[in-house]
Amino acid sequence: MISKRNQVQRVIKDNNSYIFKTFAQADDFMNEVELLKILKEDGANVPNILEEGHNFLFLEDLGDETLLNGFESMEKHNRTEYKDLILKLSKWLEIFYSITFSRYGKKLILNDVNFRNFILFENEIYGIDFEQSCTGAIETDAGKLSAYALTYEPSITQWKIDFRNELIDILSEELNIDRQQILNEEKKEIKSIENRRKISLDNYWNLL
Ligand SMILES: Nc1ncnc2c1ncn2[C@@H]1O[C@H](COP(=O)(O)OP(=O)(O)O)[C@@H](O)[C@H]1O
Ligand SMILES: [Mg+2]
């Protein structure tokens, strides 16, 4: 499975399929385990922990349909009925922020909101990757989501611009967050993407 930080594998045992995730960093492991447990206890859609060991987890297998697959396949087929999907994502985020705020009394964000960190399973959105979660502003997660929506390859197509506009409309409305701040965070993330990929996304800056 695609993982930049850890080792993630699907394993089949006794006719059942599991996800085996080994963590490169001990504190990432602890962050993720704690959040997975709290989120599950409080009713968020996250995978069950089936077994926990020293720096590894066996997780419930939620299948292969990441948010990124769904997103890419909609664009490929030029489908624009993504409103429900974005509403589901927004609902999932709202639940995450509300559970973590009531547990910790401070504002936690996901931080790593790449579209592979959400899975579409039984018609619902599940969040799966919490090791980078930290305190912050919800607008930062929202701005990264919109920056990622624009920049998966092929980047900044008209379809992606429309999706991103709907995403920002829905997130600002449903999560009650500031649109201008989302756009500022989006810009910041676009700059980091330009640095990471050593490219310039001129079409983006011309959009503004
Ligand atoms: N419970 C799960 N069910 C199905 N696929 C999963 C599950 N957990 C992880 N994956 C797959 O493995 C990939 C990497 O897992 P992730 O937890 O995001 O690790 P990393 O922290 O290294 O990014 C995910 O993008 C997803 O495709
Ligand atoms: Mg991940």
pLDDT along the chain (208 residues), means of 10: 89 93 94 97 98 96 98 98 98 98 97 98 97 97 98 97 98 98 98 97 93
- Same domain? 37 vs 79: no
Q: State the pLDDT at residue 3.
A: 83
Question: Domain span at residue 73?
Answer: 67-207
Give residue for tokens 């996800």. Answer: 19
Which ligand lies nearest to the CA atom of residue 17 in the structure?
Answer: 1
Q: State the pLDDT at residue 4.
A: 82
Q: State the pLDDT at residue 5.
A: 83
Ligand 2 centroid to Cα of residue 2, in Å, is 8
The verdict on the CB of residue 133 being under 6 Å from ligand 1 is no
Nearest atom (ligand 1) to Cα of 129? 17
Paired with 12 in beta bridges are 17
Q: What domain count does the chain have?
A: 2
Give residue for tokens 């989501």. Answer: 145
Q: State the pLDDT at residue 2.
A: 83
Within a domain: 2: no
Ligand 2 centroid to Cα of residue 83, in Å, is 24
The verdict on the CB of residue 40 being under 6 Å from ligand 1 is no
- Same domain? 97 vs 198: yes
Q: State the pLDDT at residue 64.
A: 97
Q: State the pLDDT at residue 208.
A: 82
- Same domain? 145 vs 175: yes
Nearest atom (ligand 1) to Cα of 63? 4
Distance of CA 72 to the CA centre of its chain: 15
